Amino acid sequence: MAKSVAKPAETRGEDINKATNAIETSETVENPASDSPVKDETEISIEKKLIALYTLQQNDSKIDRIKIVRGELPLEVEDLEDDVAGLETRIDNYIQEIEMLEKQVSDKNQAIKESQVLIKRYEEQQNNVRNNREYDALTKEVEFQSLEIQLSEKRIREFTAQLVMRKEEIESAQLELSDRRNDLEAKRSELTDIVAETELEEKELINKSDQQQRLIEDRLLVAYKRIRKNARNGLAVVPVERDACGGCFSYIPPQRQLDIKLHKKIIVCEFCGRILVDKELADSLN
């Protein structure tokens, strides 16, 4: 029943309050409606409101979908920017570490040279000693410097191994960095394209939404926006589907479904507060 909008109803003022009360109090079911096949002014008026609300909902859902598509891309771009910055920092750190290791290797090489000079000097002095005690003391010095050289050589081997490792790590980080930079560039241009592509469509939808909103009285519109804001999927107006609320899927008893179909009052879901429209009305607008 009640598929088409008949003549324009001029009973706005009263109906606004009735309709809004129904939403605000969730006290929705009136007396089981008349069986009269002829629609009265209230029915026509409520039907128009429901149509306007459902049309607005469909339009706003389209805007939501555009935002979802675009909404993930900036995050992906941001993540890639973080990855790139992280890799750049890591490579910088490796470079600094390599410089430090190279400095340590050269310091140790310098120390070895100094030890070698000392050893040479001690050995020369041993040719001119006056007694065994002096000779033994110089031998000890030579041994000590030889040990120093061995220690430095051991350190140099360790530093060199670390250098090789760090250089390999830099290489793989640089490969990863160039991959990430390519990904980032691709995502950035994708985002630019999508923004350019959807900007116009979104603007048109927003304009359309504004026009549709002007057809709906303020208190009903406020209720619509409030429900929409609180609903996770942005749905404030939903059809009854398979005996259930199309928003929260709670069961709707037959009598209540009948009331929804009669368009005598704006009825909201007892469980989630969404405005309910009958499937026939929804289908006629899809």
CB nearer to Zn ion: pick between 206 and 244: 244
For helices 12-25 and 218-230, angle between their N-to-C axes, nearest 10 degrees: 20
Q: How far is the CB of 273 from Zn ion (least distance, A)?
A: 7
Q: Which is nearer to Zn ion, 61 or 213 (CB)?
A: 61
**Nearest approach, Cβ of 227 to Zn ion (angstroms)?**
10
Judged by beta carbon, residue 222 or residue 248, the one nearer Zn ion is 248
Closest to Zn ion by CB, 180 or 247: 247
> Closest Cα to residue 9, out of 38, 35, 40, 45?
45
In 3-state terms the chain splits into helix, strand, coil percentages (rounded to 5) of: 75, 5, 20
On whether the CB atoms of residues 166 and 97 are closer than 8 A, the answer is yes
* CA–CA gap between residue 284 and residue 261 (Å, rounded): 13
Instruction: Tell me the C-alpha to C-alpha distance, in Å, between residue 44 and each of 1, 145, 152, 264, 278.
Output: 12, 107, 97, 8, 15
For the bound state, the minimum distance from the C-beta of residue 59 to Zn ion, rounded and expressed in Å, comes to 21
Under 8 Å between Cβ of 52 and 251: no
**Binding stretches for Zn ion (CB under 5 A):** 245, 247-248, 250, 269, 271-272
- Minimum gap (Å) between residue 247 Cβ and Zn ion: 4
Q: How far is the CB of 259 from Zn ion (least distance, A)?
A: 15
Nearer to Zn ion, 146 or 250 (CB): 250
If you ran DSSP here, which 8-state letter would residue 263 be given? T
Q: Which CB atom, from 53 or from 205, has the smaller least distance to Zn ion?
A: 53
In angstroms, what is the minimal distance from the CB of 194 to Zn ion?
33
Dist. CA 276–CA 239, nearest whole Å: 6
